[in-house]
Amino acid sequence: FSVGMYSQLHHWRNAVFEQQGSVAALKSVTLMERCATLYLAMLSCQTVDWCFENLGLAHMDVFAPILLRIWGLHPNQVFKHHALRIFSGFCQVHTLYSSVLQKQSRAELVGQAIHRTFGIWDVRELRHVMRLMIASICHSLNIPTMSELFGTLV
């Protein structure tokens, strides 16, 4: 069921930006945005190991930029939070981290999203930003961020 939700989110990756509602005015939030938010909330409970086993590294690589775009650009705070949770988990995998940040526009979007998150000052958000920053430091210093078993599979 979860793999189907990832597929649906991939299908909606551009449509969720076309008609954006405001959480302050719930009637302005479309059904698609509500469903996409629900899907991300449900998927954010899955571990990186689960995603690797059920989606595979290639599909995770497809979803990482989508999650980054949602976190960095979408106005819906709940939607952004769950995208950040999944994205920060994906960035624990060095190959995904490198793939996302190899494009300069994505690296700049990460920087903008981090600065925007610091401006919000929500502890729940900061925890996941710290996960992302720690992953950056670990990848730079060649410190493993995943278990040895996971590292051998990647």
Nearest to 67 by CA among 51, 50, 85, 54: 85
From residue 105, alpha-carbon distances to 17, 93, 111 in Å are 18, 20, 10
Does residue 152 carry a pLDDT above 70? no
Q: How many other β-carbons are positioned within 10 Å of the β-carbon of residue 47?
A: 9
Q: What does the alpha-carbon distance between residue 150 and residue 23 come to, in Å, rounded to a whole number?
A: 38
pLDDT at 146: 76
- 126 contacts: CB under 8 Å, gap ≥ 6: 117, 118
Tens-digit pLDDT profile for residues 129-149? 999 999 999 988 988 887 776
pLDDT at 153: 63
pLDDT at 19: 79
pLDDT at 83: 95
Q: What does the alpha-carbon distance between residue 83 and residue 49 come to, in Å, rounded to a whole number?
A: 17
Tens-digit pLDDT profile for residues 17-63? 987 776 667 777 889 999 999 999 999 999 988 998 899 999 999 99
Burial readout 130-145 (b: 16 or more C-beta within 10 A, e: otherwise): ebbeebeebbeeeeeb
Residue 150 — pLDDT band, cuts 50, 70, 90? low
pLDDT at 21: 72
Tens-digit pLDDT profile for residues 90-123? 999 989 999 999 999 999 999 999 988 888 777 8
pTM: 0.87
Dihedral over alpha carbons 136, 47, 63, 75 (to 10 degrees): -80
Does residue 16 carry a pLDDT above 80? yes
Give the tokens for residue 16.
Answer: 């969720």
pLDDT at 117: 87
